[in-house]
Chains A and B, each alone.
Chain A
Amino acid sequence: MIINHPLLGPRDAAEFVYLGDASLIDRPDWQDPLAAEKFHDYLYLRDNPVGNHRELWYHEQGDRSWLVVTRNTLTHEIIKVELATDVARKRGRSR
């Protein structure tokens, strides 16, 4: 499987480590009154889609960047690769 890194070009999947669902970027606010409930959902509840799935990959044997990879779970086709910092900033995070 080849992941087309936005900065480095096509790289073998063996250079990467898989973390999980990209929703992990949206960590709840620990000061929220409903923090306990939100952290429960954040930690334990996952969608298990058939088809396109957004997930976090770490380029450990490379430039050490975090990526958001959109992958089809049926075909393993990789549809989109973004830098996780760009995705996080678009969602209003400072970094």
Chain B
Amino acid sequence: MSKSVSEPASEYRLHPMPFLGGYDQVFSGLSLREAVGLAIVSIALPRGNPAGPALEKAFGTALPEVGKSANAANDKYRLLRLGSEQVFVLFEHATADAESEIAALIGGAAYTTDQTDSWVALSVQGARVRAVLARICPLDLHGGVFAIGNVARTSMEHLGTIILRTDEDQFLLLSASSSAQSFLHALETSIRYTA
């Protein structure tokens, strides 16, 4: 009888893997890396937004306008206003209980859904970042139109994408985790063709 048969199943340990294995590459004038450990919780606002005051109290900041983002007073949470009734909360969180943290924080004032495993997050930064994104993003990303902190839900290479400008030459891109490799391929191709 071999030793492995006698080992109880509880000996096995499963470790979560990032969708792109923690991708991190530097190109000329550009870096592209997977943002690992980012939790995403969706807040659906009840019609007429009666939850506004409760959310403002919970996060210490007013809800941003549609297309804008805001940091909570404690700088832990970043609120993305994606639509008149939808907000995404992004924050660093290691365990798989992000939704209950936000639900407890806002005291049930709005409807929360855990979106962490649905999205892959890629941070792209560099002097030529706008040229790279111009090939695949239908939005005008000029600083005068799409300022730091602006956020939009659009599609790139036929894949639904959320784009957030985190700095003058830095963007955070969220796309479906199930097509993470295709999304990465679209970005790598664009990086290559604009080099």
Q: How many angstroms from the CA of A29 to the CA of B92 in the assembled complex?
A: 50
Interface size for chain A: under 10, 10 to 19, 20 to 34, or 35 or more residues? 10 to 19
The distance in angstroms between the C-alpha atoms of A64 and B82, with both chains bound, is 9
Q: Which of A30-44 contact B (CB under 8 A)?
A: none
A61, B153: Cβ atoms under 8 Å? Answer: yes
**Is A65 a contact of B84 with CB atoms below 8 Å?**
yes
> Is B47's beta carbon under 8 Å from chain A?
yes
A8 touches B152 (CB 8 A): yes
Q: Which residues from chain B contact A64 at a C-beta distance below 8 Å?
A: 83, 86
The smallest beta-carbon distance between B36 and chain A, in angstroms, is 26
B53 CB–A CB distance under 8 Å: no
Known contacts A7-B67, A12-B138: does B155 contact A61 (CB below 8 Å)? yes
Are A61 and B154 within 8 A (Cβ)?
yes
Decide yes or no whether A62 CB sits under 8 A from chain B: yes
Q: How far is the CB of B41 from chain A (nearest CB, A)?
A: 18
Q: Give the number of chain B interface residues (Cβ < 8 Å).
A: 15
Interface string of A50-83 (1 = CB under 8 A from B): 0000000000011111000000000000000000
- The answer for the CA separation of A10 and B142 in the assembled complex, in Å, is 14
Given A7-B84, A14-B138, decide whether A62 and B154 contact each other with a Cβ distance below 8 A: yes
A95 to B47, CA, bound (A): 9
- A65, B153: Cα distance in complex, Å: 12
Chain B 72-94, CB-CB to A under 8 Å as 1, else 0, gives: 00000000001110100000000
Map CB proximity to A onto B153-177 as digits: 1 under 8 Å, 0 otherwise: 1110000100000000000000000
Interface, chain A (partner B; CB < 8 A): 7-12, 14-15, 61-65, 95
| Listed A/B pairs (17) with beta-carbon separation below 8 Å | A8-B152, A9-B67, A10-B140, A11-B138, A12-B138, A15-B138, A15-B154, A15-B155, A61-B153, A61-B154, A62-B83, A62-B152, A63-B66, A63-B83, A63-B86, A65-B83, A65-B84
